[in-house]
Amino acid sequence: MQLNHHSVPLLSLFLFLLPCLISSQTCQRICGKQILKYPFGSDPGCGDPRFQPHVSCSQQRVTFTTHTGSYPVTSIDYANQIIYISDPTMSTCSCTVPSKGFGLNWAAPFTFHDSTIFALLDCSMNSSSIYKANGYEDGSNSKLLCDQGTPICSLLYSCRPISIINLPISTCCVYTPVNLGPSFEMDLQKLQCPSYSGFYNFNPQQSNPEKWNYGIALKYKFSVTNDYPSNCAACEKSNGVCGYNQAFSSFICNCPNGIDCFFTSTYNNGFKIGIASWLIYSMAWSLVWFMF
């Protein structure tokens, strides 16, 4: 049998596109020294698509990105679903630097963990005027206290980089629990505070600010119900990496070494990836036979 002249270009095009249809994104399990697991991924097509714009792997470093900048991820607590980040413009007991503040994208699947505490430094207004005049009175339980009922400011101002500025302690305002209002924005210029400090653990020497864990702790959720996807769990159990097909908006299991992962993971519409690949190959051979 021979292919007719109309079939040859069609078959060539199909065979050319076939690898693209069945291939999947190569996803890394490790970025630098950090393990990457669902919902985070190393590249587009890896992890959960809702998280990929915010957490990525660049130059072997995990980075958290919002509209206010990109921040190094210091660690991820997968068991408790907490991500810890640092801000190079944050003042600590080691240095004092000016900052524009920090903000979360309102649609991002992150919230501030209850352990996060912000201290706004060198503020020019008292706590009530800062809180009310700048849109922070949003009906939440958040409190902004300027050296009232907390020793945090006194301890921070005992750090040499801060103490040499010779600021009054009353210009330090503690904000906890943190949510930054409906806009998720800490605008230091608007608050008239040139810098801030943030920490999430006293480690456990509360009286020694040099030992505190400086940074920001963020809580994340897999979904509204916060259930770990069963198909993703099966994928990781078979040494695969959870990902998604950007063209079809469906779940895929990236399998660098796994044997079972293509068959244990499923598309969102219920078709197994192994079966889907088998169907594509079957269609290819059926087209070949049809063209003869």
Indicate whether 194 and 264 sit together in one domain: no
Average pLDDT, the chain: 75
Q: Is residue 113 part of a domain?
A: yes
Indicate whether 181 and 251 sit together in one domain: no
Indicate whether 230 and 265 sit together in one domain: yes
Q: Write out the two tokens for 81.
A: 């679903």
Distances (CA, A) of 4 to 8, 28, 89, 283: 7, 45, 68, 19
Lowest-confidence segment of 141-145, 209-213, 233-237 by average pLDDT: 141-145
C-beta atoms surrounding 154 within 10 Å: 12
Indicate whether 208 and 230 sit together in one domain: no
Is the pLDDT reported for residue 116 higher than 80?
yes
How confident is the model over 32-53, as pLDDT tens digits?
A: 999 999 999 988 889 999 999 9
Q: Please check whether residue 159 is in contact with residue 93, taking contact to mean a CB–CB distance below 8 angstroms.
A: yes
Indicate whether 204 and 247 sit together in one domain: no
How confident is the model over 194-229, as pLDDT tens digits?
A: 889 999 977 666 788 888 999 999 999 988 888 888
Indicate whether 230 and 132 sit together in one domain: no
Instruction: Give the residue, 279 or 176, on which the prediction is more confident.
Output: 176
What is the C-alpha separation between 4 and 115, in angstroms, rounded?
Answer: 71
Give the pLDDT confidence score for residue 271 in this predicted structure.
Answer: 38
Indicate whether 212 and 273 sit together in one domain: no
Domain that holds residue 263: 7-29+224-291
Indicate whether 93 and 199 sit together in one domain: yes
Indicate whether 204 and 101 sit together in one domain: yes
Give the pLDDT confidence score for residue 26 in this predicted structure.
Answer: 75
Residue 156 C-beta-side C-alpha neighbours within 13 Å: 33
Average pLDDT over residues 240-258: 79
Indicate whether 214 and 245 sit together in one domain: no
Average pLDDT over residues 223-250: 84
Q: Is residue 163 part of a domain?
A: yes
Please, which pLDDT band fits residue 172 given cuts at 50, 70 and 90?
Answer: confident
Indicate whether 176 and 191 sit together in one domain: yes
Average pLDDT over residues 155-171: 75
Q: Is residue 148 part of a domain?
A: yes
Q: Please check whether residue 265 is in contact with residue 240, taking contact to mean a CB–CB distance below 8 angstroms.
A: yes
Q: Cα angle vertex 143, ends 141, 149, to 5°? A: 125
Q: Please check whether residue 76 is in contact with residue 83, taking contact to mean a CB–CB distance below 8 angstroms.
A: yes
AA letter at 229: P
Which contacts of 27-35 are long-range, i.e. CB under 8 A and separated by 24 or more positions?
27/241, 27/242, 27/243, 27/254, 28/57, 28/241, 29/241, 31/57, 31/60, 31/61, 31/62, 32/57, 32/60, 32/61, 32/62, 34/62, 34/73, 34/75, 34/76, 35/76
